[in-house]
Amino acid sequence: MNLIAYINIQSLGLGTIIHLCLFGLVAAHILRLPREPRSTLLWLFVTGFFPFFGAVFYLSFGINHVPRRGWRKFRSDVRFRTTRSRSEKAANPLAYWRALRDSLAAPLINRSQEATVNSILDRLAHEHPLLGGNEVEVISGGMEPLEEMFAAIDKARHHIHLLSYIIGHDTVGRELLERLAARAQNGVEVRLLYDQYGSRGAYLRGLFRRYSRLPNMKCVGYTHARLIKRQFQINLRNHRKILVIDGEVGFLGGVNFHDVYLLKRRNVRDYHFKVKGPAVLELQYTFLRDWFYMSTENADTLLTPEHFPKTDAVGETPLRLLNAGPQGNDQPLIDLLFALLAAARRQILLTTPYFVLTEDLRRAFRAAALRGVEIKVLLPSLNNHPTVAWAARASYEELLTSGVRLYLRRPPFIHAKAMVVDDRIALFGSANLDPRSLRLNYETNFIAFDPSLSARLKRTLLDDFACADELTLALWRQRPLHERYLENFFNLMSPIL
């Protein structure tokens, strides 16, 4: 029997044996963690039919979680500071900030709809309470959000903390860095955190390296593809867009720093949000946590009173932060979307540039529409990622049949991410409605329980709906057969798009 087994192994050949070993190792890793069945089958197919390439591809793009060593390091450092501070009876910035948040936390919302959503967030985002006393400005357009942020940067007195997915090696990217450098030369602390993949053009050309040599200016790239630390996850990216000025003013939304907002023929329309009040410190902490993970700075230099200044109420908007990322099996954005779709009674307006729904979310949209909720979804008529657009189209017929109304906005390309539920609840931030944002990327969003802000955001959305053409079911069914094949093919590939 052993001889027969030996002969069989010899007949396989060295390449086949290596292939089987690689496939076995990768398959064991794929099956070790819970995934969508479609994603699991796709990766098993890729690694099974493309021996070496498939294994490398999975190592770079298929692993959807990160080691917890860095997060444990951060939490242990915070606990150490808290313990040391209490023993010295000194003011601890983080403890002060948490006490400040608790004192400004909005009371339990009386309306059952908001209370239901907020109670779910108590579990999804227990670290981030609902904070009252905020003011939110909706900034829409092309260059308008950038100009607003540039103006805030120019007024910075103590520090500028900026996190961006894309900083281009172009006019807008260089102008940003020049403005940051000017403030640094005036003694302002500048910390710039960029996603190394999204900003790869500027990174590979050494743009950040040149500016990081300046006094008071630090530039760090965010990546999980570091061979020295045995990390190969190119697929995991920091998609957040956060700007905090002096701990007093914050920005978040969909705007990146590159020239697409300047182009005349292929320009972009986006939404960004300017925040004042206690919620700015939530953005501050999010930035500093990401910064600590990637930089060599100690928490002592980050968790300071200067970074978490005393904050008073400046408005009446209650905000709650929801961060998401590839940490474990939690999918807070998906859970929140389920909660909003279930809580909606009359109307949902939303816009997103990438609308590739998971099967469970597709059913949630259908269920809401079938029970009479008016759902209007605004999408770009022309997409900058054609493969993602094809994948999105695979769910159109099912949604249209159930009563969901789809609108295709004419150029410029709309890159905004926003949602309004029943004129009372608003969701906005950096996340798209696609598998990458919902499962893989690091994202930051705010949910607001405020009719006034919801009304202003709704007006902005309706302005864009007025520039769109509704896609009817009758028109959609007239598309040619080859488009249906493309839609279903790219929908099958959506876990790796």
Active site residues: 239, 241, 246, 415, 417, 422
Give dist(CA 138, CA 145) in Å, integer: 9
Long-range pairs for 80-86: beta carbons < 8 A, 24 or more residues apart: 81/299, 81/300, 81/303
Nearest one of 255, 171, 223 to 441, comparing CA atoms: 223
**Dihedral angle, C-alpha 353, 357, 361, 366, nearest 10 °:** 90
Measured over all CA atoms, what is the biggest interatomic distance in the chain, rounded to whole angstroms? Answer: 82
Cis peptide before 435 (omega within 30 of 0): no
Contact 458, 478 (CB under 8 A): no
Give dist(CA 415, CA 253) in Å, integer: 10
Residue 105: exposed, middle, or buried by beta-carbon count in 10 A (0-12, 13-18, 19+)? Answer: middle
Give dist(CA 406, CA 70) in Å, integer: 42
CA angle 464, 465, 468 (to 5 degrees): 95
CA angle 406, 411, 416 (to 5 degrees): 65
CA angle 253, 258, 260 (to 5 degrees): 90
Q: How far is CA 51 from CA 27, 246, 476, in A?
A: 12, 52, 40
**Which residue matches tokens 């602390």?**
189
Give dist(CA 430, CA 446) in Å, integer: 9
Contact 146, 257 (CB under 8 A): yes
In one-letter notation, the amino acid at residue 121 is L
| DSSP assignment string, 262-286 | T-SSS-EEEEEEEEESTTHHHHHHH
**DSSP 8-class letter at 412:** S
**DSSP 8-class letter at 306:** T
Give dist(CA 111, CA 138) in Å, integer: 25
